[in-house]
Amino acid sequence: MPFLEIHGLSANIDGKEILNNLELNVDRGEVHAIMGPNGSGKSTLANVIMGHPKYTVTSGNVLVSGQDILGLSTDERAKKGIFLGFQYPTEISGVGYSHFLRNAYNILNKSLGSQQKDREVFLTVREFHEYLKKNLGDVGLDPAFLGRYLNEGFSGGEKKRSEVMQMLVLKPMIAILDEPDSGLDIDAVKAVAEAINQLINTGAAIVVITHYARILRYLAKLDNIHVMAKGRILKSGGRELAEELEEKGYGWLGLEDAD
């Protein structure tokens, strides 16, 4: 039984159907990429998994370790160890970066402690601060960021590095990363890929939504690439599929006939 199972998932927003009978299975330790044209529903899928209130699920289910999570609130899903790295991270003024992460980490330790044996317990603020500094360094961010508000005034690239830094710190069981590489220079793409590689080693189930083969080339493991169009997965394959898409675009897949 795969750790994350999505069966027959359909969802709409304001009555407009976006997800259409979508199937996806991701086991622990697996990395899946989702590619696909703009507007195909990739971010919607990420948001629906996380429980964004704007979307209405009309059929199907999302199971984590066999348990349907669609009835859970977003914070309950987060406590199960589901993490969403946003395509467009929000700036939250007034919420201190390190304070936020320390609270989130401690909450996860309480809820996941028994499931993830290697979670460290940091007894002091100073210990946690050192842990944050290490992870910041790993994604190429300066420790000075810890004194700022969450994402406030971060550049586009800093926000993307920050998203995967938060992921590294929190050590989720399931990570959905929505275009973690968009708008990044080559060094930043490498740093983001390295962060994902670190999470792979923890045995998390990982979904990377991207438009580019480049980040996928840096991933230490890639089990499947899925092409999404019109709210469903139309084709799946291995690494070669990303290269083929980069070369030929989506036209050859006949996505227009997908209805």
Helix residue ranges, H only, the chain: 42-50, 74-79, 97-112, 125-138, 156-170, 186-200, 213-218, 239-248
Residue 57 binds to ligand ADP (criterion: CB under 6 A): no
Member of 38, 90, 114, 155 binding ligand ADP (CB under 6 A): 38
Sites for ligand ADP among residues 112-141 (CB under 6 A)? none
Residue 44 binds to ligand ADP (criterion: CB under 6 A): yes
Q: Which stretch binds ligand ADP (CB under 6 A): 11-19, 169-177, 187-195, 197-205?
A: 11-19
37: nearest Cα among 238, 234, 237: 234
Residue 43 binds to Mg ion (criterion: CB under 5 A): yes
Which single residue is written with the structure tokens 């690439």? 225
For residues 21 and 14, what is the distance between their CA atoms, to the nearest angstrom? 18
Whichever of 38 and 114 has its CB closer to ligand ADP, that residue is 38
Sites for ligand ADP among residues 77-116 (CB under 6 A)? none
Q: Which residues of 157-178 are buried (b: 16+ CB within 10 A; e: fewer)?
A: bbbbbbbbbbbbbbbbbbbbbb
Whichever of 86 and 97 has its CB closer to Mg ion, that residue is 86
User: What amino acid is encoded at 123 in this protein?
Assistant: L
Member of 10, 20, 43, 135 binding ligand ADP (CB under 6 A): 43
- What does the binding site for Mg ion look like in residue numbers (CB under 5 A)? 42-43, 87
